[in-house]
Amino acid sequence: MRRTSLRAALCAALLAVVSQTAAALPAAARGEGGGHGDRPCERTARPLDGRARQVLDITRRAKADLRLNSVEVKVTVDGHEVLTDALGESMTGVPARPDMHFRAGSVAFAHIGTALLQLVQERRVSLDDTIERWLPDVPKAHEITLRMLANNTSGLHDYVTDPAFGKELGPHPFRQWTPDELLAFPYSHSFWYEPGTSWSYSHANYLLLTQALEKITGMPIQEFVERRVTGPLGLRNTRANLTPDIPAPVLHAFTSDRGIYEESTFWNPSWTTAPGAVITTHICDLARSAEGIGSGELLSPRAYRTLLNPGTVGLGGGTAHCPSDICLKQTEAKHFGLGVLVVNGWILQNPSFSGYAAIQAYLPKARLAIAVSATKTATTPDGNQAEAVATRIAAALAPGDPLAIG
């Protein structure tokens, strides 16, 4: 009896300690409140309501029309699920599932842009600070600002579209690239224009912005973004990968980029951006990212306005020195913000590379988030076909606001 009483007392004391510790933690850390990060990423329970069936039917038709290997989709309105599903296969005989991870490419730029604006809110930096303080060896560092790197107005060439880079990348998809190797390509060209006077997309901008932010904050970019963006948004399955590995379960990718249809899942993504900013995610996190970034959830109203138009509207347009397919005209209806695209009121990012295609899109006026990931068969048309699927869904759910990206 004494031993039983002692065990009971010890258990009661331990329970009190655990309860006090749990009470001191945020609700998300305790697993309370049904936050995004606490929910499994799985298909919407059946039977489906009318709107969910409509989205699923659209997705099925698009998968067949575009001859896709897989399509993963998640749609929410005001944060509430409309549909989560996965169609097709990851590999032969392996069904695609919503919780499978895939490469998310330029979605990282949307996160970095938001994190940068938080530093601006805190007056730790100004968007108009020039970068020579942190990156003195960059050409024209005394003219290029943080704003110009974040909104693609520096004038630096894009190494990804450089034929010399493509000649190196194509035969060597497993090569590990360093930032210095990548930056050597734009540095070998003169600037398209004087910094800040036009617009042209360049992966070099976000590679340099990442380096500057690491100097400013004194921490690796993956830690900075996790603290500022992916952590607060509950994106527990969105993470930086310092190797070509992808966390299990994996959505496999295939491409005909090299002239033969082949698996490209573990091709080395080090060329896509800076180390620590190469991310993977799953479809539920992608939809939450669309909502969190697109609504400006982590920003002040003023910073959110800057996210949507940091001075790019009106820039661009072909000149004698920069062709119109490089210096794209930035209009109110379609322009680049601070790490995001703004298209007819939609706020989005649309990564596409090495057999992976995805899109996160958010329409603030309808509080509508659409996330799609797609992989290819040997006969899939060229281009980002996740965009094509999302465009069809948007046409049904928001017919007055076309998601016309192309």
The pLDDT tens digits for 43-96 are 999 999 999 999 999 999 999 999 999 999 999 999 999 999 999 999 999 999
Of 58, 113, 23, 144, residue with least CA distance to 293 = 113
CB 360 within 8 Å of CB 285:
no
Find the helix or strand (DSSP H, E) in which 210 lies.
helix 203-217
Round to whole Å and give the CA distance between 100 and 305: 34
pLDDT of residue 210: 98
Q: What is the mean pLDDT of residues 196-207?
A: 98
CB 141 within 8 Å of CB 132:
yes
pLDDT band at 211 (very low <50, low <70, confident <90, very high): very high
Round to whole Å and give the CA distance between 380 and 382: 7
Round to whole Å and give the CA distance between 271 and 353: 11
Phi then psi for 262, rounded to 5 degrees? -150, 160
Task: Tell me the whole-structure pTM to 2 decimals.
Answer: 0.91
Residue 397, pLDDT above cutoff 70: yes
CB 162 within 8 Å of CB 200:
no
Round to whole Å and give the CA distance between 352 and 389: 14
pLDDT band at 39 (very low <50, low <70, confident <90, very high): confident
Q: What is the mean pLDDT of residues 281-293?
A: 98
Residue 19, pLDDT above cutoff 90: no
3-state class of 262 per DSSP? strand
- Alpha carbon 131 to its chain centroid, in Å, reads 24
pLDDT of residue 38: 75
Find the helix or strand (DSSP H, E) in which 281 lies.
strand 279-281
Q: What is the mean pLDDT of residues 191-212?
A: 98
pLDDT of residue 406: 78
pLDDT of residue 37: 67
Q: What is the mean pLDDT of residues 292-312?
A: 98
pLDDT of residue 15: 37
Residue 217, pLDDT above cutoff 60: yes
Residue 35, pLDDT above cutoff 80: no
Residue 30, pLDDT above cutoff 90: no
10 by Cβ neighbours in 10 Å (0-12 / 13-18 / 19+) ranks as exposed
CB 353 within 8 Å of CB 281:
no
* pLDDT tens digits for range 100-156: 999 999 999 999 999 999 999 999 999 999 999 999 999 999 999 999 999 999 999
3-state class of 394 per DSSP? helix
DSSP of 58-109: HHHHHHHHHTEEEEEEEEEETTEEEEEEEEEEEETTEE--TT-BEE-TTHHH
Indicate the Cα dihedral angle 231, 111, 271, 315, nearest 10°: 180
For 177, the token pair is 């690239």
* pLDDT tens digits for range 222-236: 999 999 999 999 999
* 270-to-89, 121, 149 alpha-carbon distances in Å: 26, 31, 19
Find the helix or strand (DSSP H, E) in which 221 lies.
helix 221-225
Residue 12, pLDDT above cutoff 60: no
pLDDT band at 23 (very low <50, low <70, confident <90, very high): very low
